């Protein structure tokens, strides 16, 4: 019986209808419901909770810009082909410890080693756990920041990029950010750095982080901003042939 009431309490909290809890308990008590009747009610609430959570997951996936028809998943990644000292850390990615610890991730290596696959898989897992995720190419981010400056939307654009718990920027090094876009980029980094709650940025790049400065138009302040990206980050370096350095 205690299990049924525990399930009902958890479902009520999830459905955000706790204001009606006392009335529900009074009803159940006044009707002197049997164990079978209480179980039936609990099943209804279990179903409503599942439907709500499934709707949230599907909405998050649609808004994330991650592929839906052929999703990238951790199950679809061949970890057996990965070698080196970072194997266990890679296999631990599905636990989502990074986003919950507010730690950034970077997947560095040549084309074809699965960097984008792993970044997308991590983002998808975040969505399935109710965390807002957003994926974009570095070229798309560059264009968005450039347009924001052009049309006076800097504040709203930065606000939108700060909100996701998991922000994925794919292919750093494919374009050069001009000075205005660079300043907006690092404004975003700074605000995310100070954000509370689940929070991570994921980067993929063919370039080692010590070369990223070549793709941003700024002075020494750039180095400080880059430090904030990697202040508490896990960097996975992968060589061709799916071998980890």
pLDDT score for 223: 67
Query: In this structure, are residues 96 and 125 in contact, taking their beta carbons and an 8 Å threshold?
Result: yes
CA angle 70, 46, 38 (to 5 degrees): 160
Query: Quick one: pLDDT at residue 222?
Result: 66
- pLDDT of 2 reads 65
Neighbour count for residue 16 (Cβ, 10 Å) = 8
pTM of the model: 0.83
Which letter does DSSP use for residue 237 in this model?
E
Sign of CA pseudo-dihedral 136, 137, 138, 143: negative
Order of strands across the sheet that contains 104-108: 133-137, 166-172, 200-205, 104-108, 233-239, 243-244
User: What is the phi/psi pair of residue 236, to 5°?
Assistant: -100, 120
Q: Give average pLDDT by consecutive 10-residue segment, the chain, 245 residues.
A: 78 79 76 83 86 92 96 91 80 94 94 93 97 98 97 96 97 94 92 92 93 82 75 79 40
pLDDT in the model for residue 34: 82
Integer CA distances (angstroms), 165 to 22, 101, 160, in order: 34, 11, 11
Closest CA to 7 of 37, 36, 35, 49: 49
Domain boundary assignment for the chain: 2-64, 79-244
- Is 93:74 a contact under the CB 8 Å cutoff? yes
Task: Encode pLDDT of 189-232 as tens digits.
Answer: 999 998 988 999 999 999 998 888 889 887 666 667 777 888 88
The two beta strands, 233-239 and 104-108, are parallel
- The CATH superfamily label for domain 79-244 reads P-loop containing nucleotide triphosphate hydrolases (3.40.50.300)
The confidence score (pLDDT) of residue 67 equals: 95
Model pLDDT, residue 7: 83
């Amino acid at each position: 019986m205690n299990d049924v009431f525990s399930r009902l309490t958890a479902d009520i909290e999830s459905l955000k209808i706790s204001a009606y809890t006392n009335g529900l308990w009074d009803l159940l008590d006044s009707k002197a419901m049997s164990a079978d009747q209480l179980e039936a009610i609990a099943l209804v609430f279990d179903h409503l909770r599942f439907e709500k959570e499934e709707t949230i997951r599907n909405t998050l996936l649609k808004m994330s810009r991650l592929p839906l028809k052929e999703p990238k998943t951790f199950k679809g990644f061949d970890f057996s082909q990965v070698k080196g000292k970072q194997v266990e850390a890679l296999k631990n990615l599905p636990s989502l410890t990074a986003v919950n610890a507010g730690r950034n991730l970077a997947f560095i290596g040549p084309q074809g080693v699965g960097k984008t696959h792993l970044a997308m898989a991590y983002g998808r897992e975040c969505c399935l756990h109710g965390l807002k995720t957003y994926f974009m190419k570095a070229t798309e981010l560059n264009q968005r920041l450039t347009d924001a400056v052009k049309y006076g939307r800097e504040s709203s654009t930065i606000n939108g990029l700060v909100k996701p718990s998991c922000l994925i920027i794919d292919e750093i090094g494919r374009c050069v950010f001009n000075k205005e876009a660079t300043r907006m980029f690092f404004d975003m980094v700074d605000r995310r750095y100070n954000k509370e709650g689940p929070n991570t940025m994921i980067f993929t790049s063919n370039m080692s982080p010590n070369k990223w400065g070549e793709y941003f138009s700024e002075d020494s302040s750039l180095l400080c901003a880059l430090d904030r990206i990697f202040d508490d980050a896990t960097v996975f370096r992968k060589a061709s042939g799916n071998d980890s350095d």
